[in-house]
Structure 1
Amino acid sequence: MSSQQLTLGASVPPFTAHAISVSLPTWQDNISYEEGDKRVLDVMVTGYPRFFIHRSTQKLAEICVQKFGVYGERCLLCPTHKVAEACRAFMIDRSSQTGAAVPVRLVQFLICPEDQQDAPNSSCIELHIVLFPAEHFPLAKQFWQHTGLCISSRRAERCLSMLPQESPASPKPAFARPPVKAPNRHYSAKSFGRSPPSSPTSPNHLQREPVVKAIDEALSADQSVYVEERYGRNLPLESAAAAKRALRRRIAGVLVHDSPNDWSAAGGQDVELGPSTRGVESVTEDDVFMFSTGMSAIWSAHQLALGVRPVAKSICFGFPYTDTLKILQKWGPGCHFLGHGLDKDIDELEIILEREAAQSEGPPALALFAEFPSNPLLRTPHLGRLRALADKYDFLIVVDETIGNFVNVEVLPYADIVVSSLSKVFSGDANVMGGSVVLNPKGRHYAALKAHMVQTYEDSYFDEDAIYMERNSRDFRRRIRIIDDNTLAVCELLRKRSLVASPIPARAVVKDVLYPKWVTPDNYERCRLPGGGYGGLFSVMFTTLAASHAFYDTLPCYKGPSLGTNFTLASPYTILAHYAELEWAAGYGVEEGLVRVSVGMEDRATLLQGFEQALLAAEATAEHPAA
């Protein structure tokens, strides 16, 4: 049995208690996962947190159901009453559209250390339990997946550590989904019940992660905390507020000094701060808001728009990561979907805006959401033209900069709100989730947006998650430079052996390499910073599915769900995100055989050797086509 087969279902990175990926090392493993094959589902120990409910969270949920539930109920666990109320409202609203409203009830559970049962203090943790009939769990799971608002695995572990030890046996995995039967419109406003995949990953022969990290993260929670604090890598847990300030300052670009000698003081009261480097000098840490996941940042940005602006449909510009469109469809009055996201679609958008403006007394749109660049097509929108339309028709622009990242591109001057998944390259270690919202102080609606955020924002980002995110992000600028250079080298290798090369190589099976340097390059260059690169993500498309399979199966790296990791991570993206709607996705250029790759920090020669090996396997399929 190959080493890849041995690692099916293992956490990625290995031996990491809070890993955010799972190993699905072959193309067939991914298909089997989508079809609910027990061979795959029964060995998965983890998964991407919004798709796979961590085993600690499952265990805590079973305890809560035993304590507060009635026969036939299940639950979701939320960090605040406000989130629990949003979950209940979502379940009632969605179920009411197709039948009777689901009965949902909420329970508050205060968990304290045993020695503080009679005098609760700040070390206690509040849980808000959403209980409902078990058959409606797929609907509840949608809320978990789309919003990213429910509790983190570290919060669950901390709760378990404070509860009496007589707890139920480990529950069955909650990530397993039934086999796909009829096509299910993943982007349909009425398609609820299917959770997009918990992404895949595989063993990495390119990566050489420090063994100490794998070991200490496999320790018990208390031991791990001790090791991290004792050796000066993490701030102590009581410094969580300072860690969050350091994160907000780092994201705002106001830390004058952010080198190793300054990291421990980055969240302090006396640290030197300067004008923002984000392209809008007046940005401060108070314009940055932290969230538990990147998707909760996007959901919250949409809720902010709904709370401040007149009711109108949103605009989804470009083919987005799946849950962004779900948010725009399932909350509020819906959205206009311009899935190609090319310059010609801005002409179509203007027609839509003129039509809507003629039929409405208020603005013709609520907000336009766009990725810079998009996932997985790496297309970049013309932000200048979109900004001009937003000013003319009075709607907000929300830009997701996760893939471009603010070391490479400057998008804030064009946006009212910038969102990002900090779980990706900002963290890099793939062991913690996080998200951010940045408001543009120069935006026309800044005063209203800021006032609403100050009034409604609640910090539900778990302290321990913030501690890890702060540590991971300290050297993100250095890491991004290495990743950018590695990615460009890999893309150039693949492009020279593709159908877009001149002359075309004799055995070319690579149809195209999708990377911002070559996809909508003018739009990307307008926002690229001096010295900025093109990011760490690319997609490659092949002339045949056989070539795609051979390339993916041979590539000697981890294979899994996330991106922006310090190690190389590959995914058969369309299979995982759009398995029930392959034809529909292909209509927007997202082909079934597309392989998405997030490049890491490995030695470049070793990295290129691994991609050469995979490329040779793909090219061999042209000589020996499948029978």
Structure 2
Amino acid sequence: MSTKTLTTAVLGSPVPPFTSHAISVSLPTWKDNVGYEEGEKRVVDSMVTGYPRFFIHRSIQKLASICEQRFGVSGEECLLFPTSTVANHCRAFIIQQAAKDNLRFSVRIAQFLLHSDEKDKETCVPSSKLGAELHIVLFPADKIQYVRPFWQHTGMGISSRLAEHCLSLLPEEAVPASPTVYTKPKFSHRYSVREKQRSFSGAPNEVLTDDHSTYLEERYGRNLSQDASTFAKRALRRRIAGVLLRDEPAVWDVVGSTDSELKPSTRGDGVTEDDVYLYPTGMAAIWNAHQTITAVRPAAKSVAFGWLYVDSVKVLEKWGPGCHFFGFGHDEDIDSLEVLLEAESKKNPGCPPIMCLITEFPSNPLLRSPNLQRLRDLADKYEFLIIVDETIGNFVNVEVMPYADIVVSSLTKVFSGYANVMGGSLVLNPRGRYYRALKDELSSTYEDMYYGEDALYMERNSRDFVRRIKETDENTEAVCDLLQSRSQSGGAIKGVFYPKWTSRENYDKCRKKGPDGVPTGGFGGLLSLTFHSDAASRAFFDSLPINKGPSLGTNFSLACPYTVIAHYTELEWAAEYGVEEGLVRVSVGIESKEDLLGRFKVAIEAAEAAV
């Protein structure tokens, strides 16, 4: 693809284009991103879709409108969840948050069972496998600010594919013909800490194709059996556990079967598929990891170590006693953490000073890698648990299991790559000190909330994830070498954040190695840039001929002005930790290396011209 002919998606359209369940949305210019954060009508009215935890998919909106008409009373809106347990968690959260403002109002839960009259064409047996179950949390529409955070922070709302399935089970006359007939708020706010309601608008007549629909139709026909999704989920757990002896095209149809050949895990001594738990999103995995630890350990504050994804910090702050924030994630911060742990231990002898610590390896967007060995030593000494989010590093490149009690990952990102399905995983370390307690708790509380059709897409998408990660690693290193050389020549680029240069020693300690000790893992597919002027940042971003939007780990390159869309209302505070307003984050894809280098040269030249 020539950089001269490349066109990116138009403002507010799905990324990837023409994808019914796209997880990103096009915000092609710096001005568009600022307009999105400020609620500019030009931008908001263009939004056809958005990241699922922040922008309620139109199919979910349509289904929610029907549920409000059937179960709600005047002035009530609702959110939809897959199980009663999650709905009750949501209700408890709403009541708790409202109580902080001395408010009390009605929050109701309704159950909606949907059945199908369709019968199997061969046996004439009713197809009960097509049924669905919804749990509806109803609340006053003017109290949405107490409700929205649960959907966003936990990631456990129903998926858009489940919503479409539920709509297909309803009588035709019950389904609105156009999304313009309902007023469900979409949460069209991507990252920022501030919270506001925005009404639905957009391009209601746009037709989005059903991405990869022929895959399901050809393999499973119209009816999706429970056996098919069970097979896919087993294959996913084995792939994540690293126990598949063979995972290649010739054996893809058997990797989820009960007699598939397995081997010792590549993730760590003793890990099996039974130590892997699937969730509908990466945030759901993090939220449930924290909930599980809360259930087995004494209550205490947690620690957010390093500049974590904003919702990970929110989970620690809003569920439980709160958290200590060590935003730099440097080795010096570990010194400060040790001082804190010692002081808290003396203050409350016999009680763990903190409950758990969560960190990313490496972090987003600064790509810093913490010293996991030192953190592990402190955890063993002061009896707290460690959660490591390996999404950015991914387990093809790094091995963090020996240092963690729980490893979480957003499968939505590079594991899937296709940006058309959400998913998350939680893996227990069987060698961890608290493994048995965690395992027992999950054995009694874990619910499989991962919708079967989403699992099928994730399984299909992830079959070649090792190859794609290797290609992404190579492309990203080549791009970063180019950017680093230009930054050192005194041009517009001030800094390049990338594990090859950022806290390299800590990264190398966990980098995957072969039997001969030679590193086999790469440096990942994410990089961030800062510039010597705001004008250079904007010129680079606007001129970079790749897709622009939230998310990362996509097979196609994707860029965003990270600080603007993540911390727009707290730019000065973020800058104190090195997350500058003009920072540009780039997720590199698997395009031609030469083509990618050409695209980045175009953006570099634009930035230097602006300077």
Measure the CA separation in 1 of the matches of 2:330 and 2:11.
38
Q: Is it true that 1:30 corresponds to 2:33 in the alignment?
A: yes
3-state secondary structure, aligned to 1:157: helix
CA drift of 1:358 comes to 1.1
Q: Is it true that 1:311 corresponds to 2:318 in the alignment?
A: no
Q: Is it true that 1:51 corresponds to 2:54 in the alignment?
A: yes
Contact 2:9 2:28 in 1 (8 A): no
Q: Is it true that 1:142 corresponds to 2:149 in the alignment?
A: yes
Q: Which one of 126, 130, 134 corresponds to residue 137 of structure 2?
A: 130
Over 3 Å counting, the alpha-carbon distance change for 1:6 and 1:274 in structure 2 is closer
CA drift of 1:235 comes to 9.4
Over 3 Å counting, the alpha-carbon distance change for 1:237 and 1:7 in structure 2 is farther
Q: Deviations over 1:306-352 (max 9, x none)?
A: 01111111000001011000000000010110011100000000011
Q: Which runs of 5+ in 1 are unaligned?
A: 199-214, 623-627
Contact 2:493 2:530 in 1 (8 A): yes
Q: Is it true that 1:593 corresponds to 2:600 in the alignment?
A: no
CA drift of 1:550 comes to 0.5
Task: Compute the RMSD of aligned alpha carbons.
Answer: 2.4
Contact 1:237 1:467 in 2 (8 A): no
Measure the CA separation in 2 of the matches of 1:177 and 1:153.
15
Q: Deviations over 1:594-623 (max 9, x none)?
A: 00000000001100000000000000012x
3-state secondary structure, aligned to 1:75: strand
Aligned twin of 1:74: 77
Measure the CA separation in 1 of the matches of 2:216 and 2:467.
26
Q: Deviations over 1:520-574 (max 9, x none)?
A: 1000000001210000000000011100100000101111111000000000000
Aligned twin of 1:557: 546
Aligned twin of 1:244: 233
Measure the CA separation in 2 of the matches of 1:276 and 1:497.
42
Q: Which moved more, 1:458-467 or 1:139-148?
A: 139-148
Contact 1:572 1:596 in 2 (8 A): yes
Measure the CA separation in 2 of the matches of 1:244 and 1:133.
37
Contact 1:294 1:420 in 2 (8 A): yes
Q: Is it true that 1:111 corresponds to 2:114 in the alignment?
A: yes
Q: Which one of 289, 306, 318 corresponds to residue 277 of structure 2?
A: 289
Measure the CA separation in 1 of the matches of 2:70 and 2:134.
13
Measure the CA separation in 2 of the matches of 1:132 and 1:339.
36
Q: Which moved more, 1:168-177 or 1:487-496?
A: 168-177
Contact 1:142 1:195 in 2 (8 A): no
Aligned twin of 2:436: 447
Aligned twin of 2:105: 102
Q: Deviations over 1:349-390 (max 9, x none)?
A: 001101111122311110000000000010000000000000
Measure the CA separation in 2 of the matches of 1:195 and 1:514.
34
Q: Deviations over 1:435-457 (max 9, x none)?
A: 00000000001010001011100
Superposed counterparts of 1:355-370, under 5 Å? 355-360=343-348, 361-370=350-359
CA drift of 1:120 comes to 8.5
Q: Structure 1 length normalisation: TM-score?
A: 0.90
| One-letter amino acid of the counterpart of residue 288, structure 1 | V
Q: Which moved more, 1:161-170 or 1:299-308?
A: 161-170
Superposed counterparts of 1:29-428, under 5 Å? 29-115=32-118, 121-166=128-173, 167-168=175-176, 169-170=178-179, 171-172=182-183, 174-175=185-186, 186=193, 193-194=195-196, 218-219=209-210, 225-227=216-218, 229=220, 238-278=227-267, 280-360=268-348, 361-428=350-417
Superposed counterparts of 1:486-565, under 5 Å? 486-498=475-487, 501=488, 504-505=489-490, 508-530=491-513, 531-565=520-554
CA drift of 1:481 comes to 0.2
| One-letter amino acid of the counterpart of residue 537, structure 2 | S
Over 3 Å counting, the alpha-carbon distance change for 1:185 and 1:219 in structure 2 is closer
Q: Which moved more, 1:148-157 or 1:99-108?
A: 99-108
| One-letter amino acid of the counterpart of residue 217, structure 2 | Y
Measure the CA separation in 2 of the matches of 1:262 and 1:76.
40
Measure the CA separation in 1 of the matches of 2:88 and 2:220.
36
Contact 1:570 1:598 in 2 (8 A): yes
Over 3 Å counting, the alpha-carbon distance change for 1:283 and 1:113 in structure 2 is same
Contact 2:115 2:131 in 1 (8 A): yes
Q: Which runs of 5+ in 2 are unaligned?
A: 120-124, 201-206, 514-519
Over 3 Å counting, the alpha-carbon distance change for 1:99 and 1:236 in structure 2 is same
Measure the CA separation in 2 of the matches of 1:433 and 1:177.
18
3-state secondary structure, aligned to 1:601: coil
Contact 2:29 2:541 in 1 (8 A): yes
Q: Which moved more, 1:290-299 or 1:37-46?
A: 37-46
CA drift of 1:159 comes to 0.2
Aligned twin of 2:427: 438
3-state secondary structure, aligned to 2:455: helix
Q: Which moved more, 1:429-438 or 1:98-107?
A: 98-107
| One-letter amino acid of the counterpart of residue 226, structure 1 | E
Aligned twin of 2:204: none
Measure the CA separation in 1 of the matches of 2:213 and 2:492.
51
Contact 1:235 1:243 in 2 (8 A): no
Measure the CA separation in 1 of the matches of 2:146 and 2:545.
37
3-state secondary structure, aligned to 1:114: coil
Over 3 Å counting, the alpha-carbon distance change for 1:367 and 1:194 in structure 2 is farther
3-state secondary structure, aligned to 1:574: helix
| One-letter amino acid of the counterpart of residue 159, structure 1 | C
Measure the CA separation in 1 of the matches of 2:29 and 2:461.
29
Contact 2:282 2:408 in 1 (8 A): yes
Over 3 Å counting, the alpha-carbon distance change for 1:483 and 1:89 in structure 2 is same
Q: Deviations over 1:196-236 (max 9, x none)?
A: 9x9xxxxxxxxxxxxxxxx9x81499766314657xxx997
Measure the CA separation in 1 of the matches of 2:192 and 2:389.
24
Over 3 Å counting, the alpha-carbon distance change for 1:220 and 1:26 in structure 2 is closer
CA drift of 1:281 comes to 2.3
Over 3 Å counting, the alpha-carbon distance change for 1:220 and 1:385 in structure 2 is closer
Q: Structure 2 length normalisation: TM-score?
A: 0.92
**Alignment: residue pair count:** 584
Aligned twin of 1:625: none
3-state secondary structure, aligned to 1:347: helix
Over 3 Å counting, the alpha-carbon distance change for 1:518 and 1:534 in structure 2 is same
Q: Is it true that 1:473 corresponds to 2:462 in the alignment?
A: yes
Contact 2:130 2:224 in 1 (8 A): no
| One-letter amino acid of the counterpart of residue 113, structure 1 | S
CA drift of 1:174 comes to 2.8
Contact 1:537 1:599 in 2 (8 A): yes
Measure the CA separation in 1 of the matches of 2:163 and 2:224.
21
